[in-house]
Amino acid sequence: MVVTDENSNIDRRTVHEIRDISARVKAIVEHQTLGKPVWIGGFVRRHFISDIGHEYFDLVDEEYTIRCMVREPVRGTLDFSIGNGMELEIYGTVRFYERYSQAQIEVETATLIKRHPFLLDETTREQLEKKGLWPRDKRPLPHTIQRIGLITSKNSQALHDFENTYRSYGGTASIEFRDVRLQGQQAPREIADAIRRFNHENDVDVIVITRGGGRMLELAVFNDALIAEAICRSEIPVVTGIGHERDDTFADQVADVKEITPTAAALYLARERPLATTHNPANRSKNVVMWLAAGIILVIIILLLSGR
């Protein structure tokens, strides 16, 4: 199709249809791979089985993702069932689907390397559903925040980033800190216990869970059911600031407010939430009520004394 653009220095241009570009990309991709199967390693996410029995999942590493498909006949040849959280090596051919302009691996066989329970976020969701905790309604944060409960590691950069950013942008609430491990087998229980302790003590207005960026397996601690359940059962609203922009954990999904980093969480609380100051309208209203009550009591006392 040739179009004349009167407002351009270029008199004529060719406008291609999407199918033309998609076909060119397909030719390049399949020419580069020569249609030959390759071995690829990664972790399984977003796994599901279609109505006709084909299996689909994302194979991911620290930065990249590619879609995979296992046809129903091939599924029957595997000696294990593919599921979220598995580390696999798959053998398959790169296919490019023109209609969606999407590359996909058509899997011929797969080898299970390891199961990583922290990555099984679908299992976590199922556990919460059985307990009636999912899906859940998000709780609003208090109008005035005077005390923040911060859960992170004393050795983490997230601790310094949160505190420095919060104070730099005018945050005045006091910060009550709980030191926990952020990776390893003990981390989920320590984080969940910290959430429960804040609720038991009931002396903070909001709970913030933060950690900086890291490898996928390190951040996957925050997919654990112990943490998710503790957040869901918390009477105190929970804000998360975990990892970097591209990171997303199940703790983020169940939290009342998800921010993309520890710094972003601090900015949200410092900028978006009213500061805890004596000039807050809510505080002024409380003071007015107290003075009115005192005045009424004084009048009653005077009347009683004059009646004598």
Alpha helices by DSSP H, listed for 234-280, are 250-254, 262-267
Q: Quote the pTM value.
A: 0.61
Instruction: Answer yes or no: do 92 and 143 share one domain.
Output: no
Is residue 277 in a domain?
no
Q: Where are the alpha helices (DSSP H) in the chain?
A: 18-33, 72-75, 121-130, 157-168, 187-201, 216-219, 225-233, 250-254, 262-267, 281-307
Residues 152 and 260 in one domain: yes
Domain that holds residue 36: 2-115
**pLDDT of res. 259:** 94
> Three-state SS for 240?
strand
What does the pLDDT read at residue 151? Answer: 98
Does residue 308 belong to any structural domain of this protein? no
User: Are both 149 and 97 inside the same structural domain?
Assistant: no
Q: How far apart are CA 201 and CA 304, in angstroms?
A: 44
pLDDT reported for residue 204:
97
Asked if residue 200 belongs to a domain, the reply is yes
The reply to whether 100 falls in a domain is: yes
Residues 144 and 253 in one domain: yes
**Per-block mean pLDDT, blocks of 10 residues, the chain (308 long):** 53 79 85 82 88 92 88 94 88 88 93 73 78 88 94 95 95 96 92 97 97 81 92 96 81 93 95 51 48 65 65
Q: For residue 127, is it within any domain?
A: no
Tell me if 207 sits within 8 A of 151, measured CB to CB. yes
CA-based torsion, 194, 195, 200, 201: positive or negative: positive
Domain boundary among 115, 149, 164: 115
d(C-alpha 84, C-alpha 125), whole Å: 12
Among 271, 225, 49, 17, smallest CA distance to 124 is for 225
pLDDT at 232: 95
Beta strands, E only, 30-166: 38-49, 55-60, 65-70, 86-97, 102-115, 147-152
What pLDDT, on the 0 to 100 scale, is given for residue 186? 92
List the one residue out of 274, 270, 244 whose CA is nearest residue 165: 270
CATH number (domain holding residue 206)? 3.40.50.261
Residue 148 and residue 60 in one domain: no
Q: For the chain, what is the radius of gyration of the CA atoms?
A: 28
Indicate whether 264 belongs to any domain: yes
Residue 169 counted as domain residue: yes
